[in-house]
């Protein structure tokens, strides 16, 4: 089953099943908890940035990353591309009127990871 974390989650895991966690695990009916490491996204080179088309979008009070991803990419799960490219991991970092860039084409930028 595909998830929004496909390609972002690495295979590095950490399993929590220690004695100190046992009460929490028992309360939840679990044997263990598996933590997945989040992949670190690298910065793009100047050459990579130059090969992209950028769409300028001015932030409004109704905007959300997932809405912009749906509008420009046809799928809400790529919201993180817009957030990452603009170095604004959360929407609270934006205010009305801020200009952000929507990189495209999507398949090209995904290939850069």
> Contacts by 7-13 with C-beta closer than 8 Å and gap 24+?
7/39, 7/110, 7/113, 8/38, 8/39, 8/80, 9/36, 9/37, 9/38, 9/39, 10/36, 10/37, 10/38, 10/39, 12/36, 12/37, 13/37
User: Is the pLDDT higher at 99 or at 6?
Assistant: 99
Token pair belonging to 108: 């090209």
Give the span between the Cα atoms of 105 and 70, in whole angstroms: 14
pLDDT at 7: 53
The confidence band for 113, taking pLDDT boundaries of 50, 70 and 90, is confident
pTM of the model: 0.66
pLDDT, tens digit (0-9, with 9 covering 90-100), for 6-64? 554 445 555 566 777 788 888 888 887 777 777 777 788 899 989 999 999 999 999 99
Instruction: Report the pLDDT averaged over residues 70-81.
Output: 96
User: Is the pLDDT higher at 15 or at 112?
Assistant: 112
pLDDT at 82: 96
Domains and CATH numbers, the chain: 9-38 (no CATH), 46-111 (3.10.350.10)
pLDDT at 36: 75
Instruction: Report the pLDDT averaged over residues 69-86.
Output: 95
């Amino acid at each position: 089953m595909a998830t929004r974390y496909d390609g972002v989650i690495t295979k590095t895991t950490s399993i929590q099943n220690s004695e100190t966690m046992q009460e929490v695990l028992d309360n939840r009916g679990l044997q263990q908890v598996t933590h997945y490491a989040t992949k670190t996204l690298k910065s793009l080179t100047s050459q990579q940035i130059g090969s992209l088309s950028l769409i300028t979008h001015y932030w409004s009070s109704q905007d959300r990353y997932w809405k912009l991803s749906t509008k420009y990419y046809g799928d809400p799960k790529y919201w993180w591309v817009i957030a990452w490219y603009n170095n604004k991991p959360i929407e609270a970092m934006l205010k009305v009127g801020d200009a952000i860039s929507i990189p495209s084409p999507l398949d090209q930028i995904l290939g850069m990871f």
